[in-house]
Structure 1
Amino acid sequence: MSCTFRSTTKQEQFHLLQKVRWNDPGALYSLMDMEKLSRFPFLIDQEGDIYVTQPLDREEKDAYVFYAVAKDEHGKPLATPLKIQVKVKDINDNPPTCPSIMTVLEVQENEQIGSSIGTLLAHDMDEENTINSVLGYKIVDQTPKVPGDGLFLVHTYLGTFQLAMQSLRKQDAPQYNLTVEVSDKDFKTLCLVQIHIIDINDQIPIFEKADYGNLTLPEDTAVGSVILTIQATDADEPLTGSSKILYRITQGDSEGRLEIETDPETNTGYVKIKKPLDFETVAFHNIVFQAENPEPLVLGVQYNASSSATFRLIVTDVNEAPQFSQQVYQVKVSEDMAKGTKVANVTAKDPEGLNISYSLRGDKRSWLKIDPITGEIFSVAPLDREAESLYRIQVVATEVGGSSLSSTAQFHLTLTDVNDNPPRLVKEYTGLFFCYPPKAPGSLIFEATDDDQESLRGRHFTFSLGSESLQKDWEVSKINGTHASLSTKHTGFEERVYNISIRINDGGRPPLEGTVSLPVTFCKCVEDRCFQAAGRMPGIPTVGMAVGILLTTFLVIGIVLAVVFFQIKKTQGQHNVESTQTAEAKPLRT
């Protein structure tokens, strides 16, 4: 069973909605809410009449589904529950609502009449597409009313705003506040709309003066110096891309020696030295400035002569030091280059055209010389990569005459290696030994190296004994490119030191060979360590010296004892004499 019921108010509670009847009397009726609603606004009496007990709100719930149940006096169902569907019919009980406290729209100040600006989308909670939710729009107030009232139109049913009378200017008013009445057939609501006027770049920068006169500067004026201040103004909105000014030089500075920085707050331009001025290159600059905006100009507006200005820069001559063609000269030669060979040629020019004299500074090894007129550099001594692989000196260019100014450049001479160092032992081997008497042949390991570059020799040494006479007792075996072993061939060696000469060949181009000596000691061992009686060290007395020292010590002790004994005897004798004299002087008693 379905029925339709309109939304109700409190005064309409307990309104009869529907009647249900069981054929036989005595049936007990009840309603069953299958949706388990927190608020169930219906009841049924024992006559089978269904009533609405609470106000219905379509915007809260637009339909209900429940069941009517009939039971006998014992609670037994008399029939299948009857399904009841209730649809809530809308009434106009909701006023229009604004989309926000303030709807903000924007329009450019050159917008054409009739152009769409934006839309106000109000809302009504009543049922859509019915007379209750149809909204109408009307502007009821405009603030400010300059240059006049009625500058805007709004579509009655769409809420779309249009420019009505004329293009706007931000100078007249930066924004407009509109009060819009939104209504349905019963309610009215006021919504606020704010329209911002967007500035456009329809004003060009204008220089305060067209000619900034003459300026004379010496060519050694410091880079970064501010030499001139320029100023242009723009009538567009401040601090925007339409009013910001960028200055550029359009004529008179093809080498880019000047630059202009703009103060973002004041649009003041500061002309600065970007690269050193050069009297010899350009002595007079006729500079033309152009002032522009980063924002493009609107169609129909163009820059003109008011956006440009001129000034003349006069550069005066200053005596300058010679200038090298490069600041660092790098040359690579072989270390076996013959004396007197030309190594390189350096060049410098004097800006004033004076002659130049060349010299070297820092040639601590006296390997090089330079021709003072031509700048040619020659070797004058044997070069040695192992002593210094990268030789750094300075070349000095001094003007002849004038103020004798000078400048320097770096000269780096890289020496490439040749095989000119014979092999040698990597260290001094002083602790090589075999225990005496040897019980079996043994071997010792040693390592070789040389001072040439590893990439040149590749570390592939060959080893052999220094003389044929050693071959009956010793043997040398190569382990790898740098290590070899020295082995004994028998056990019949004496307890002493053997100096074994060994030849080491580097296999280079040309190959070089070195002869080294390995001292090998045969000695008695204690716990596998060589034991040797300590020799006499400086300052330690021999046995004879020790006996002499001991006898001398005893003699000195004897003399001291004799003197002491004699002194004691002498003291006792004096004491006895004094006692006798005293006894004789005393009178006898009777």
Structure 2
Amino acid sequence: SLSLPQRVDYETKRMYTLKVEGSNPHLDPRFMSWGPYRDEATIKISVEDEDEPPVFVAPSYTFEVEENAPEGTVVGRVHAKDTDVANNPVRYLIPRYTDVEQFFSVNPEDGLVTTTRPLDRETQPWHNISVSATEIGHHQDTKVRVNIKVKDVNDNPPEFATNNEVLMCDTVAPGKVIETVSAVDKDEMVHRQHFSFTLAPEVAHNNNFSLKDNRDSTASIYVLRKGFSRLTQDVYFLPVEINDNGVPPLSSTNTLTVRVCSCDSRDTILSCNVEPYVLPAGLSTGALIAILACIVILLAIVVLFVALRRQKKEPLIVFEEEDIRENIITYDDEGGGEEDTEAFDIATLQNPDGANGFLPRKDMKPELQCPLRPGMGHPAPNSVDVDDFIKTRIAEADCDPTAPPYDSIQIYGYEGRGSLAGSLSSLESVTTESDLDYDYLQSWGPRFRKLADLYGTKDCSLQDADEADDS
């Protein structure tokens, strides 16, 4: 069998010719005279073409572009070709995940890479993207790395290296250096480039401080006089111009703050605050602000309290203890149900003192006023006519506009005298003679025999007692 020790390339070599020899290593001496036992053959191997992705001319690309270059500036060009026999055209594309902010674009036909916006070197000095090449009509692609360097342009002015205040003793001597300042620049510094310092024109001839450029990107601040007082002026502002001497040259004005402090004899700073000199004369600004804030808060609370009291219509101070208990009024008659909504005036429930008085009905008035019968208001003491008594009460209720509701139940606790009907009291039935005959209990069977004997014996004893009385 034949095997490949390495890969073959159709584009490099399409045909291979091999010469193969076969022999028998184990010969029998009896057949040596029959001739040589070996043979040779020629084998030709053809390499078939396989569809492969495009191949870039270079393994990677590195380009440079000027900082702040306008949109559409050409960065460089990448090139890939199809190595197959078909030699199909190639299309180029920048995968978005390699250029998320889309700073660059590529021409899909010729692979020309251009910018889509101005670039800032101080924000991102290098951009590393990828370009993909794909044959038309095929899905296989090849990617190549493209590194783009943003060339620096002097577009940032210099500034102070630190923004700290300069603390100066009020007893400082004239000619003493109180600070040495330096500068920094976000742009790249070329060889032998340095910063220069000068005082701003408006303070160039001041009587307090002077500046000396040391020619090494630093400057010294000197004091010109003595007798600085914190009460007169505790802070001085010194504007300084800084030039970077670049191409093009840029400069900026930075302000140096000098604060006057109290020091001891060894020039050790004791205090730089101005409050100790203000306190003997009165309160400090912070204390006054705090007091005013408290007063405003108290006024707001009082106004809110008064507004709430006025909304509730209650006095600010309660002089008497109010009785807030619920007043329960009991009525002896029954109302007319849910439909009788005006049987009682709600004022009666709110005013317990008027519960015993007579209030006229507000739902309706009787159309007729019935005259009272003679003697109807005061019935005779010995009258036992209950029917007339009830009719009298009904007539009074119908004709009286101050009477309770018409659909109410009137309860009367009157019982007449001399009625033909006897008393219904169960207590009196024990002493009366009973006309009941309990002989039928004998026919109820043995289960009620005991009961029949008890009532039968009682009847017999009563008869014997009657006969004894007759005799």
Which structure's CA Rg is the greater one?
Answer: 2
Tell me: higher relative CO, structure 1 or 2? Use CA pairs within 8 A at least 6 residues apart.
2
- Whose strand proportion is higher, 1 or 2? 1
TM-score, normalised to structure 1's length? Answer: 0.40
1 or 2, which has the higher helix percentage?
2
